[in-house]
Amino acid sequence: MLRWSRRGGASFHCPICDYRGPFLSHWSEGKRRVHALCPACGSAERHRLQVLVLEEIAAVHDLERMSVLHVAPEPCFHALFRRRFRRYASLDRNGRNADYRADLCRLPFADRSFDFVFASHVLEHIQEDGEAIAEIARILRPDGVAVVPVPVIAAHTVEYGAPNPHEAGHVRAPGLDYYDRLHGHFRSVDLYDSELFPEEFQVFVHEDRSSWPATMPLRPTMAGTKHRDFVPVCVR
């Protein structure tokens, strides 16, 4: 369900499509997130944060000389990635709107096949996430970059033991400590925080996490109604 977020006449700027104006509210997993979606391109808070981080990466790495593998490709990034990278390839486990159909734990690519891997909100769906992270590192060339954010929805990571269909198949509730798992696979991991970017882009998650539906018994509660998001940038 979508509704306009006109509280206090709030107006924002989408860094993906350059829309300026109010953002839509969004109902997800029994919760309402205000100022969540761009009405023009459909980008959510995480997408806007990620594209701002991509610009930070572009200041250091020449994206136009890099090949990218886009995992579980988001429609709002298709045109942008095809324009910014030298070569674009997409992959999805179910093959939907993607060039390759494959499991992230068993990628059909040779070692050092790509310069960049982008896999947003994917690892929280994978029980054997260590294998998936190792595969991402394997297919990256030296000095290659991986951007692999997960939704930080707990103070500390909670493993479920099995996918929860009421949480889009999540197998865990990641905390900020989840990103510690990346260090053994990459020579550097830098975290970018919502607080680093101007408020006009609205990259925070405005959501009451003080309770969750009974269908999410293992998801922990969090205080507050405005939550930071994080994007890890990993260099091979």
DSSP class per residue in 194-235: GGGS-GGG--SEE---S---TT-TTSPP-S-SEE--EEEEEE
Radius of gyration of the chain (CA): 17
Please tell me the pTM assigned to this model. 0.93
Quote the domain boundaries for residue 214. Answer: 2-235
Predicted confidence at residue 219, as pLDDT, reads 96
- Beta-bridged to residue 41, according to DSSP, are none
- What is the mean pLDDT for each group of 10 consecutive residues in the chain (236 residues)? 49 96 90 94 96 97 97 92 95 87 96 98 97 98 97 96 95 98 97 97 96 95 95 98
The answer to whether 233 and 145 are in contact (CB under 8 A) is: yes
Predicted confidence at residue 133, as pLDDT, reads 98
First-last CA distance in the chain: 40
Predicted confidence at residue 5, as pLDDT, reads 45
CATH number reported for the structural domain that contains residue 191 in this entry: 3.40.50.150
State the sign of the Cα–Cα–Cα–Cα dihedral 224, 12, 41, 90. negative
Number of domains in the chain: 1
Predicted confidence at residue 9, as pLDDT, reads 63
Predicted confidence at residue 3, as pLDDT, reads 44
User: Rounded to whole angstroms, how far apart are CA atoms 219 and 172?
Assistant: 8
Candidates 90, 82, 154; CA nearest to 122 is: 90
Helices (H), 59-178: 78-84, 129-139
Predicted confidence at residue 94, as pLDDT, reads 86
